[in-house]
Amino acid sequence: MSNSKHIHVVIFGIGNVGSTLIQQINMAQSNLQLKHQLQIEIPIITNSKLAFYNENGIENSWLIDFEKFSEPYRIEDIIQFIKAKKFKNVIAIDATASVDFVQNYVPLIENGFHIVSANKVANTLSYDFYEALRQSLRKHNKSFLYETNVGAGLPIIETIKNLYNSGEHIAKIRGVFSGSLSYIFNEYSESDVSFSKVLSQASKLGLTEPDAREDLSGNDVARKLLILARELNLKTEFQQVKIESLVPKKLNGKTNVQQFNARVKELDLPFQKRKTALSKNQVLRYVGELDVVKQTLEVKLIIEQKQSPIGQLKGADSIFEIFTESYGEKPFVIQGAGAGKAVTARGLFSDIIKLSNNLN
């Protein structure tokens, strides 16, 4: 045990993904010690307002302990606790979806934290913020890993980085980037069920956000597309992504979630018209497309041939087609589960291990 490498992980956000990550880490401890001589301890867990501290690492009773002993916190309290304990190799995990929390990244980096994040916000704010964050990482010799930002547990960002850094010319990236919208259009294209019923099924399966308009707006797909564009050194802003929203204007704006759900059948007719226009060998797919040559980013609903890789998609899988010079006309394809708490948590865990391997 004395020869083990110790990693201290602070988990911000203990919802579906964060709590699943805690479970995965706890279950893997003996295997990590046996195969990697690695010990991962979690001295702090937080939700948006409260933090629970245990310098020896949380135990399987962490949920009960959090309910009993958590206390209000500021980010300064977390930093002070870590410094007082003189922990080394500290990784902050952002398992939130918070716009505000990413403002803590730079203070954390400046105080010795590496960052692993499932939160897309930091990589999709203004390019000035994006670059300032990376300058801080370089200055303080810290790492920021975010593989789960685009493909949940799929190695999309790592693949793109490796191709780009090796000098490969990437011409285009296109695909179905959203697990929820993948399920919706895979089901809708193949069944006689109304669009509103398919949307309801997706919601019951936990595939959509509580407000399904967050999925249907296309903004999440656009953020993923923007992240990939920036990995290829395109200085692009979110406003430059052309997005075809699937939500009519009359159901946006001041309409709340309950009102939207009450009127969701208003989506049936316009989607039925698009479905009726399909031939036997065609399906609807909601795709993101980055044309690197033209430097255009587009999110749109398209008609696709059933026999194509995108047309053959099933369930809630995502698919990414990467067109490069070396691969020619046939794209390099990555496909698999693109959503879900288990695969996203596993992606975070993978980033933790990857980062740990580079620490002393």
Please list the alpha-helical segments (H only) found in the chain.
Answer: 16-36, 62-69, 75-85, 105-110, 127-140, 148-151, 156-165, 179-190, 195-204, 213-216, 219-231, 257-262, 268-276, 341-356
Largest Cα separation within the chain, whole Å, is 67
Amino acid 266 reads E
Of the candidates 10, 317, 343, which has an alpha carbon nearest to the alpha carbon of residue 148? Answer: 343
Q: Annotated catalytic, 224?
A: yes
Of the candidates 286, 283, 278, which has an alpha carbon nearest to the alpha carbon of residue 175? Answer: 286
Place of tokens 């399906």: 283
Q: Give the contacts of 187 (CB within 8 A, at least 6 positions apart).
A: 193, 198, 201, 202
Query: What is the SS3 assignment for 332?
Result: strand
Measure CA 92 to chain center: 16
**CA separation for the pair 77, 159 (Å, rounded):** 37
Options 68, 139, 204, 224, the catalytic residue = 224
Measured between alpha carbons, how far apart are the two ends of the chain, in Å? 16
Report the catalytic residues. 224
